[in-house]
Structure formats: C-alpha cells, structure tokens
C-alpha cells in the first residue's frame, strides 16, 4: 500500500510542479496571434494552390491581416479561387471595403489541332511538354504552338483543364479558378488568364505564333498572320500587333465582334456568343445590320449550364 | 588483347555496324543553294556580316562570333546571297541563316588549294590560336564547342597532355576513321600544331581496336613525329566521351563538375585536328567536313566531303536515294544523335553523320515498369544512378537530382540502351538536367 501511495504522491507532485512551471512559461513566452487570421483562414477555400502568390491559404490569411492592419487596404491581395465572393467576406471580417475584381479564366491560345496543323513528324519521347519543348518544334511544325503533352493538365488542381483527344489540345472548363498554375506550367506561354467577361462572353486571338504570316500559315491553317485587319477595324484601340501577332487587350475590348468577322484565318475566337443570324433574316433594330452570317461551327461553346464542357469545334 | 586500355566504370557494347568503314571519302558535288545557319556552335549564335545580294567567295567570312564562346562562319561556296532568313534547324525551330545561291566555286585568293602537305610549322602558339579563332573551328565530334576557347587554358591551369579523339565509339559512323586513313599525315601535323599551341610535349591519339587498319597506319606514320603516341583502346561505348577518354588514355579522373584541364588534359576530335591543320598550314577556314551517310537499307553507304550548308537530302540522294523502308533519319550516331525533322536541314559544323534507320528499328518499345535490375547503374560511365535520377526528375524534385549529381550526366544514353523495361531514362535525365541547370544558373546570378 505504502509503495502505491508514495508513487501516486511523487508523480502527482511532479505533475503539479511541472504544471505550475508550464503555466508561467506559457504566459511569459506567449506568442500573440491575431484571432482574425484564423477567421480569415476559415473563409478561404483552403485549396492551398498558391494562386495568390503565397505558400498556402494560411500564409495568405496572415498577409491580408497584416496588410489590413498596416495599410488599411488589401491592394494586390486576391484569392483567385474564392473570387470576389470570398474577398468580400474577408473584407467584412477585416472591416474594409473591397473593390470587386473581374473574374478571370485561363484561355488556351492555340488552335493547332490535328486537323488544323497536321502531323509532319511523330514524337515518341516522354509525355512532358517541357522536355519536348527543349527537344523539337512540335509535331505540326509550329514552334510556338501547343505540344499537346499535358503539362498544364498535370498542373491543374481543380480538374478544370483536360486534353481533347480529338483536337490534341487542352480545353478549359468552368471549374477554372484562374490560379495560374497552368500558365506557369506551359513552356510555350500559350495559356493566358483573361477576363471571364459578361455572361462568359470572350473574344481572343487563339494563336501565339510570332513568325511572318507566310511561315506561320504553312504549318497551321488557323495561325494569326499579323495582317492587321483586326487592328484597323477595332474602334476601341483594343488590338495591337507585335511580331506578326495580334493581341486583344481585354480591358479595352467591348466585344463588338468586328475583328472576328474580318479575320482571314479565323484565328480570332468568340466564345459563348449566340450564333449570328443569317443575313436574310430580319435583324432587330438595335443590332448593327452589317453582321455577316457566321461560318458553321464558328462559335465555340466552352461552358454549359450543367458544367460539362463541350469542346470548341475545329473550324475548317 | 585483354591488356588494352579502356575506362573503368560502366559502358555498353552496341552492335558496331560500321558499314561504310572501307568506303573512301568522296567529294560531293556542290549543291545549287546552301543554307548556312548562324547558330553552329555551342554558345552565342554568330552575327551575319553580309546582306542580300552580296557576292561572296568560298572561304569568305560571312558571320562573326556572337560572343566569347562563339565562332566565325565562312561562306562554303561562291555565289550571291539570296537572302538572310530563318530556316529550320535539326530540332525544327526556325533560326537565322544565310542562304546563298551557288555560282561556281571561286575560292578566296589566300587559301592554299594545292594538295601538297606542308610539314614545317612556322606559327607561334598565339598565331595558331588566332588562326583557329579566325577559321571558326569548333569541336567537330558533335559538341561544337569553339576550339580556341579550349586551347586557351584558364589562368593558373596548364595543359600536360593533348589527347586526340579518334575513338568514334558511336556505331555506324566512320567519318573519323576515313580521315585517319586518308589524311593521316595531315592529322599528325595538326596534332603537332595543337601541341605547340598548348605548349605540351606529349600527344596521344586514342583509337578503338575495331579500327586496326587506322591504328597500324598511324603508328607507322607517327614514328616520324616526335611526342605522338597512338593508343589502341578496347571497344566500349562511350569511350569517345571526353572524361572517359582521359580515364582510358592517361588514367586520370576529371573531378565532378570540372573541365578536363583540371587534370592537365585537352581533348580534340580527329576532324577538328584536321581542320586546325588546314587553317594553320593552308589558311583554309572551316567550311567543309567529312560526313558519313549510312544505314542498313541504304544502297550506297558513303563518306562524303561536304560543304557546310548542304541540305542533307542531297547527301542521301548521292548515297543512293532515300530507301522506301526508312523509319527515321538521324543526325549523328544512333546512340546520341537526334532524329531530323526534314530532309532540307543543312549540314552544320557538328554533323558527323546521317543515319537512316529502318522502320522496324526506329520505334521505341512500349515503356514498362522498372524491375529494379540496376543495369542502368552498372552501365553508367559517370557512376550515376539513372533509375533514381529519372524518377526524381519526373517528380520534379530537382534539388534532390542536383545532390545526386545529375549535372554530371554526359547524355550518352547507355542507360536507356540497356534498360530491359524500355524506360526512356535519358529523356527524363535530359529533362532533369535542363531544369536543374536553369535552377543553378538563376541561383548563381543572385
């Protein structure tokens, strides 16, 4: 009995002394952490994708709380995955007004599908775009175009980008959060983050070939040849041509679709627009009556209501 | 023959297939148009000096070195500059090139075109290095490293030995073999010139034992040339690798990440040595080279003396035309060469051979899982672990790859050749090397 009693008392005593020491140490060396960090982290989508530029959601939460405290704004900090909704909530928590940002989406600026850019050589190496890029120009011969080996697909954590077997090109669906992982992964800088646009309507140049038109068109029938027609027709100064390549500034673009009409190689894409009515039909007064009939399959539908992506058809 | 020298670590024995070994070098007729790429050397591409419409003579300087590691380029033909445009290089990327319409073959006046062998070496070491630089000579074994840079050891280092690489360990290729057989004396004079430039007293010519005629021929000739020793070597791939050759010939090991000059050695290729002879003794810049055109299905495997810039299609045509059963056209040898994307790709300073592979041999086997047989580790001549490096490269763990010395890989392909599971080890290693190199460079910049 005695032994048990001694043991219990000794251990209890040690426990008590340790508890007292620990209590004082803990209060002495206490690290103050703003409870708001936890609150903000709770709001964040915890995807830990790094799309915001910080290593994970916790680091982003710390950065936002610090910035809100020091500078009373959250400029330059944005969670691409959560978007405006989440940022608004973060703003509420931190008692700050947040300006809404335009939602973005990753856009694949290459249409060098099997049909448009037929295979000239056969690649048998490993399925890695960055390796293939260092090795050779590409199966179709375009040295700027998509290699179709799916580094972007591997990089995506949101199941938002997939390879289309039929076209041999990646396609982005509605799940895209614009985290930018695919943009980083692509060795040829084909993928760009662009504005989602009103009602998901977008217009962009689906080509990144910087070669002279004659060379570019040899390898791909839908290459941008830098003819400058779109630049001339644009009323909003949204289109610039550098190195024989047209680029549409999405901040200036008003989605008038004039450039799409004039493009001789169909390299400018319109996404999620209603198919244009044929000329013969009566055109409502509001719309300009110069609209030409759209070529068949010209409208690529990227997003559907049921979240399933339908690949944009190849234009012939 | 068990006493023959070779390197110790790893190595493989691919089938030799030296079908064109006994075919004498033939001078290829001039093409109608030449495409002279501006990036023919390792390092900075050259800057063109000519304009559209300029008349050029054979051997005229048409582009200057683009940097310290760069080389001059001379017109391989005489004629009119058609235009300066982009043409696809061996990888299909379009890069700047000077395109010349050939009109006759009028050489620059200061080039000695006679067949006499000039034995007396008058030039001082500095003059030799300047001549080599002006003549635009690069390593002609395939690496295309500018030769003058190799001939100028960094301060504090001195060369002890010169090793001439006559190994030609790549299967099929015979260009160096033919040069040794037909231009033996010039080669030895070239070796003496290089020895003088490096201020060394001892020069070796390493030749693999599958070329007994070349060994006998050069041994006989070398008696008159002081300080040159012919070293027969056991046949083993990749003995032509710089580090392997040094180990085989003088039994010294180049430390990891260091250059051969660290152990007092400078290695030059046979083709390069001949070009040095021609530049110094004959004042002839580098604008032509010997190229092997070979393949099992080819009707006339040949060795051609070709002007730089000739489209490879013309070479294949001269060797009997493209056989129906062609699966792949490779620039270089079967182990390290790269498959070419079109027949319009021009011959460059580093083109040692053109190999036409049959359809059946040209495809890769389907990749299977690693069975941990560790064959790749046994054959790696650099003592690396290819299975591990390929794995970490695939997973993107480049810091680990760097620790495992991925940058020491010489990309010889022995691991991939020997892998029973047909894993594209070399592809992954190249990928890893590429990325790790980028990381190291960006770190060094900081």
- The yes-or-no verdict on residue A286 having pLDDT over 70 is no
Q: What is the mean pLDDT of each run of 10 residues along chain B (446 residues)?
A: 79 92 93 92 90 93 91 94 89 90 90 89 92 93 89 90 94 94 94 94 94 94 93 93 93 91 94 95 94 92 94 93 90 90 91 91 88 94 94 90 93 93 92 91 88
**Any CB–CB contact under 8 A between A145 and chain B?**
no
pLDDT for B373? 94
- The yes-or-no verdict on residue A278 having pLDDT over 80 is no
CA distances from B205 to A131, A181, B165, B211, B270 (A): 37, 53, 6, 13, 9
Minimum-distance CB partner of B364 among A124, A136, A137: A124
CATH superfamily of B1-29+111-363: NADH-ubiquinone oxidoreductase 51kDa subunit (3.40.50.11540)
pLDDT for B382? 93
Q: Where are chain A's structural domains?
A: 35-93, 104-271
Q: Are B76 and B307 in contact (CB under 8 A)?
A: yes
CA distances from B215 to B15, B167, B193 (A): 21, 11, 21
Closest to B180 measured CA to CA, from B217, B144, B220, B222: B217
Closest to B35 measured CA to CA, from B48, B18, B17, B25: B48
Minimum-distance CB partner of A136 among B341, B428, B431: B341
Q: How far apart, in whole angstroms, are the C-alpha atoms of residue A241 and residue A226?
A: 7
pLDDT for A311? 42
**Any CB–CB contact under 8 A between A211 and chain B?**
yes
Tokens of B201: 């007293």
Q: Which of residues 330-389 of B touch A (CB under 8 A)?
A: 338-339, 341-342, 363-364
pLDDT for B2? 52
pLDDT for B347? 94
Task: For residue B266, give the H/E element and its range.
Answer: strand B265-269
Contact A137 B92 (CB under 8 A): yes
pLDDT for A305? 40
Contact A136 B424 (CB under 8 A): no
Q: Are B168 and B240 in contact (CB under 8 A)?
A: yes
Q: How far apart, in whole angstroms, are the C-alpha atoms of residue A302 and residue A306?
A: 12
Which stretches of B136-183 are DSSP H helices?
147-151, 175-182
Q: How far apart, in whole angstroms, are the C-alpha atoms of residue B383 and residue B253?
A: 12
Q: How far apart, in whole angstroms, are the C-alpha atoms of residue B136 and residue B36?
A: 13
pLDDT for A125? 84
User: With bands split at pLDDT 50, 70 and 90, how would you rate the model's confidence at A110?
Assistant: very high
| Per-residue pLDDT reduced to its tens digit, A9-24 | 999 999 999 999 999 9
pLDDT for A296? 41
Q: Where are chain B's structural domains?
A: 1-29+111-363, 375-445
Share of chain A above pLDDT 70, in %: 87
**Any CB–CB contact under 8 A between B93 and chain A?**
yes
- CATH number for the domain running over A104-271: 3.30.70.20
**Any CB–CB contact under 8 A between A187 and chain B?**
no
pLDDT for A93? 87
**Any CB–CB contact under 8 A between A131 and chain B?**
yes
Arithmetic mean of pLDDT, A249-261: 90
Contact A124 B92 (CB under 8 A): no
Can you give the pTM of this predicted structure? 0.82
CATH 1.10.15.40 is held by the domain A35-93: yes
pLDDT for B230? 94
Q: Which of residues 186-225 of B touch A (CB under 8 A)?
A: none
Contact A211 B86 (CB under 8 A): yes
- The yes-or-no verdict on residue A291 having pLDDT over 70 is no
């Amino acid at each position: 009995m005695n032994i048990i009693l001694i043991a219990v008392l000794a251990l209890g005593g040690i426990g008590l002394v340790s508890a007292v020491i620990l209590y004082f140490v803990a209060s002495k060396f206490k690290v103050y952490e703003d409870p708001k960090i936890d609150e903000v982290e709770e709001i964040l989508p915890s995807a830990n994708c790094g799309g915001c530029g910080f290593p994970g959601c916790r680091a982003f939460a710390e950065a936002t709380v610090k910035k809100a405290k020091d500078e009373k704004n959250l400029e330059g900090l944005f969670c691409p995955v959560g978007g405006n909704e989440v940022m608004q909530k973060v703003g509420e928590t931190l008692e700050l007004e947040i300006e809404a940002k335009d939602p973005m989406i990753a856009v694949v600026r290459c249409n060098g599908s099997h049909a448009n850019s037929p295979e000239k050589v056969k690649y048998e190496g490993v399925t890695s775009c960055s390796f293939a890029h260092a090795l050779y120009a590409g199966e179709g011969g375009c040295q700027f175009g998509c290699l179709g080996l799916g580094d972007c697909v591997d990089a995506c954590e949101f199941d938002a980008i997939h390879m289309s077997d039929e076209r041999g090109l990646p396609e982005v669906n509605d799940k895209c959060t614009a985290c930018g992982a695919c943009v980083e992964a692509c060795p040829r800088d084909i993928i760009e983050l662009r504005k989602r646009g009103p009602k998901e309507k977008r217009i962009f140049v689906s080509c990144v070939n910087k070669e002279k038109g004659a060379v570019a068109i040899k390898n791909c029938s839908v290459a941008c040849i830098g003819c400058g027609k779109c630049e001339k027709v644009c009323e909003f100064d949204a289109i610039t041509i550098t190195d024989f390549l047209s680029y549409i500034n999405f901040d200036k673009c008003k989605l008038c679709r004039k450039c799409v009409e004039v493009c001789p190689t169909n390299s400018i894409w319109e996404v999620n627009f209603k198919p244009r009515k044929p000329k013969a039909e009566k055109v409502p007064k509001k719309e300009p009556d110069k609209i030409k009939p759209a070529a068949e399959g010209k409208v690529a539908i990227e997003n559907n209501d049921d979240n399933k992506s339908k690949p944009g058809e190849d234009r012939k | 023959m068990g006493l023959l020298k070779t390197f110790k670590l790893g190595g493989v024995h691919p089938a030799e297939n030296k079908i064109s070994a006994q075919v004498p070098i033939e001078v290829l007729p001039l093409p109608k148009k030449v495409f002279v790429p501006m990036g023919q050397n390792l390092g900075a591409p050259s800057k063109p000096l000519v304009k559209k419409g300029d008349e050029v003579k054979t051997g005229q300087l048409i582009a200057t070195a683009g940097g310290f590691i760069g080389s001059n380029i001379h017109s391989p033909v005489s004629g009119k500059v058609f235009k300066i445009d982009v043409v696809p290089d061996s990888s299909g990327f379009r890069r700047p090139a000077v395109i010349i319409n050939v009109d006759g073959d009028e050489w620059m006046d200061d080039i000695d075109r006679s067949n006499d062998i000039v034995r007396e070496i008058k030039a001082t070491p500095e003059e030799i290095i300047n001549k080599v630089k002006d003549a635009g000579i690069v390593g002609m074994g395939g690496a295309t490293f500018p030769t003058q840079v190799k001939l100028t050891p960094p301060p504090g280092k001195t060369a002890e030995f010169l090793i001439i690489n006559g190994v030609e360990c790549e299967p099929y290729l015979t260009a160096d073999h033919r040069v040794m057989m037909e231009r033996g004396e010039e080669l030895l004079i070239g070796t003496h010139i290089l020895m003088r430039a490096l201020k060394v007293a001892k020069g070796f010519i390493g030749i693999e034992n599958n070329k007994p005629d070349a060994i006998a021929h050069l041994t006989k000739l070398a008696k008159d040339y002081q300080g040159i020793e012919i070293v027969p070597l056991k046949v083993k791939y990749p003995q032509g690798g710089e580090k392997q050759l040094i180990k085989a010939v003088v039994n010294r090991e180049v430390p990891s990440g260091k250059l051969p000059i660290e152990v007092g050695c400078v290695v030059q290729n046979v083709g390069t040595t001949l070009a040095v002879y021609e530049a110094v003794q004959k004042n002839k810049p580098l604008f032509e080279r010997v190229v092997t055109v070979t393949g099992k299905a080819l009707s006339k495997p040949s060795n051609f003396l070709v002007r730089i810039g000739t489209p490879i299609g013309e070479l294949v045509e001269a060797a009997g035309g493209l056989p129906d059963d062609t699966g792949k056209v490779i620039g270089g040898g079967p182990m390290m060469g790269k498959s070419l994307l079109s027949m319009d790709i021009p011959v460059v300073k580093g083109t040692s051979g053109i190999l036409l592979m049959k359809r059946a041999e040209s495809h890769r086997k389907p990749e299977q899982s690693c069975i941990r047989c560790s064959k790749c580790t046994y054959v790696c001549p650099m003592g690396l672990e290819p299975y591990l490096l390929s794995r970490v490269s695939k997973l993107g763990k480049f810091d680990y790859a760097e620790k495992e010395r991925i940058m020491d890989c010489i990309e010889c392909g022995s691991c991939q050749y020997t892998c029973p599971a047909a894993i594209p080890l070399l592809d992954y290693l190249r990928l890893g090397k590429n990325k790790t190199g980028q990381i190291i460079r960006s770190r060094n910049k900081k």
